[in-house]
Structure 1
């Protein structure tokens, strides 16, 4: 029995954008983006495209991969009023599998990395179901009458700063995971204890109207350009420098019962540092804070250079560049706050966490999908090792 299969419904009768599922976006038919993401996910054994359209079938057949299987969608489940659950249940009646991943073709920003990590989350938490979400920090209001509104998620008298506002999770419709057993019992795509997988905020958009199409196409083109630019920049990296708070940690302040300061590090970053060392890339930590915790963590990870209590990070950056006789293009830097900007602007390639301050995002070459403390270094290392 297959443990994980993916199901991608693709109806031919779209009204807002005729045959949108095979209309080209950023150079490829729309359905190609999600099919490729599913095919490239190592956990997914088969990818089923469910459609009622011969035109969609003809386009899908151009994808030459043994994982892809095209299945016919009945007329009853291909109407304007038919639910996606009806497609899933019809499919489940004729196929043997343990877990199903429903993927919406209208979310082309989905990646195989998203699917890999979501399945890992699903398994680690022993969840019954999982859905993809984005985090948003918007103040929501509800109509209290014809002319007046009331706030739903904040107090206007104590308006929080955006960086202090926890925000909320919004279903982005990219994908859902559940078991065949629960699907058939509840006739719903998610049920029981529902876990979530957080995707980058820009994946909030899914294609329903032409305006959505234009936004997502720009995002896809930008992502592809970034990938090409990064590949050329990352070929000669010899030194990897990172900040600590807000990069290796979540920027939180933790204290023991005795008042001792604590920091929470992500173990995946530790493996990332090890992978860099194995590639012969020197590593350095440059941080404004000065604590024994950072010293201990750096020693454990065998970081080559550790500078604490540094206000002028650019001077240390230049010192390291001269020490190792490097060009600017051979240095990577990760930072999250305004004191990192001078170094981010000098480094050959600059990265920042997804929750970095806006000023840092504006000067960074690449904004990561993870937030500080969530394995930021590991994400950068994965990008590096794919390109060197």
Structure 2
């Protein structure tokens, strides 16, 4: 028996056009559920079913293993099409074993993790359920349109801590077998079990406001903090991080750069927390020197290309008596790759080079270079390690 994860993603969303590949926390939305499925050891295959060439290209660009694309029929990708229709289309085309486990994952559930999927698979296997769905425990009081209470007695209102609550389907995943899906023409059947997920995963991504709320929750609960050691040195690149990577020139030919004042305050906050600061850049200009002086950084290394950035960071570590694991660094381009891969805590702007975004464990920030990425990194990530 093998386990297959199936993620249907169509291109025809009306509320948020092409929402399945819209940027969510620095990545296309579908990236997060694919990542969760790929990282679940007990899942053997991850299938993305789409009718849209652009979505297919984005999925292929991730370079994940275990992932393949199924080109779904456009008739099963309409507003009126059910998810079951594309599942059955795939099962008819694939001819899988009847007892293979089949996990339907909704791409609009970016807060789903490999831990959640692993827990759901264990519930399915260990309790011998026919099918399993993910839910959250809601301790809210529900009523119907007639004014009748659904899950509590309003004349004996319980305290929240005494209220058992109601299990609410969050739409993240459903587990069944291939044979039963074919027999019942449904994602769920027979004796159904519940796999509980955290309450914050109840978010629906139907409108722009939902998107903003979900991104806040993602950053709060799920953004990875790779370093297990105390951060004692923060390093930033210049172009593409502290600036927008644009090249500006005056009529006299003077080079100009645009910096963000929020980043300036971030450097001050980092310094006041007792962490040393540094700038390491491949550029070598008086302008950068003046900006570094303004920021009061402890170290400035210019003209560092290729492996020079890592060498400069190691030199600072030696002077400070720390290890490279004690370093946090934000970079965006190929000449940052070596240093980003070595430090204890690495991050990049949302518009960083794709190869940089694929560094294992790197934190992808929601802001672009020059938009205040250092401030975001400090407030959302670094402050939690200090």
Output the TM-score relative to the length of structure 2.
0.57
Matched, 1:160 2:158: yes
Q: Which residue of 1 aligns with 2:25?
A: 26
* Cα distance in 2 between the residues matched to 1:50 and 1:125: 30
Matched, 1:58 2:57: yes
CA contact (8 A) 2:16 2:207 kept: yes
Q: Which residue of 1 aligns with 2:202?
A: 204
State the 1:229 CA deviation.
8.1
* Cα distance in 1 between the residues matched to 2:64 and 2:10: 22
CA contact (8 A) 2:111 2:222 kept: no
* Cα distance in 1 between the residues matched to 2:110 and 2:139: 23
Q: Which residue of 2 aligns with 1:355?
A: none
Matched, 1:228 2:225: yes
* Cα distance in 2 between the residues matched to 1:111 and 1:32: 12
Q: Which residue of 2 aligns with 1:106?
A: 108
> Matched residue of 1:215: which SS?
helix
- How many residue pairs get aligned? The number is 230
CA contact (8 A) 2:6 2:104 kept: yes
CA deviations over 1:23-55 (Å, ceiling 9, x no partner): 111011000000000000001001000000111
CA deviations over 1:185-218 (Å, ceiling 9, x no partner): 1100000000110000010012111111111011
State the 1:152 CA deviation.
1.9
Output the TM-score relative to the length of structure 1.
0.57
* Cα distance in 2 between the residues matched to 1:173 and 1:231: 33
* Cα distance in 1 between the residues matched to 2:76 and 2:176: 20
Aligned in 2, Cα 1:94/1:222: closer, same or farther, shift over 3 Å?
same
* Cα distance in 2 between the residues matched to 1:3 and 1:48: 13
Q: 2:120 aligns with which of 118, 121, 138?
A: 118
Alignment map for 1:139-178 (pairs within 5 Å): 139-144=141-146, 149-178=147-176
* Cα distance in 2 between the residues matched to 1:234 and 1:190: 47
CA deviations over 1:233-254 (Å, ceiling 9, x no partner): 699xxxxxxxxxxxxxxxxxxx
* Cα distance in 2 between the residues matched to 1:156 and 1:117: 35
Matched, 1:180 2:178: yes
CA deviations over 1:253-285 (Å, ceiling 9, x no partner): xxxxxxxxxxxxxxxxxxxxxxxxxxxxxxxxx
**Where do 5+ consecutive residues of structure 2 fail to align?**
233-384
> Which portions of structure 1, spanning 4 or more consecutive aligned residues, are displaced by more than 6 angstroms?
none
> Matched residue of 1:141: which SS?
coil
> Matched residue of 1:143: which SS?
coil
Matched, 1:75 2:74: yes
* Cα distance in 2 between the residues matched to 1:139 and 1:53: 41
**Where do 5+ consecutive residues of structure 1 fail to align?**
236-386
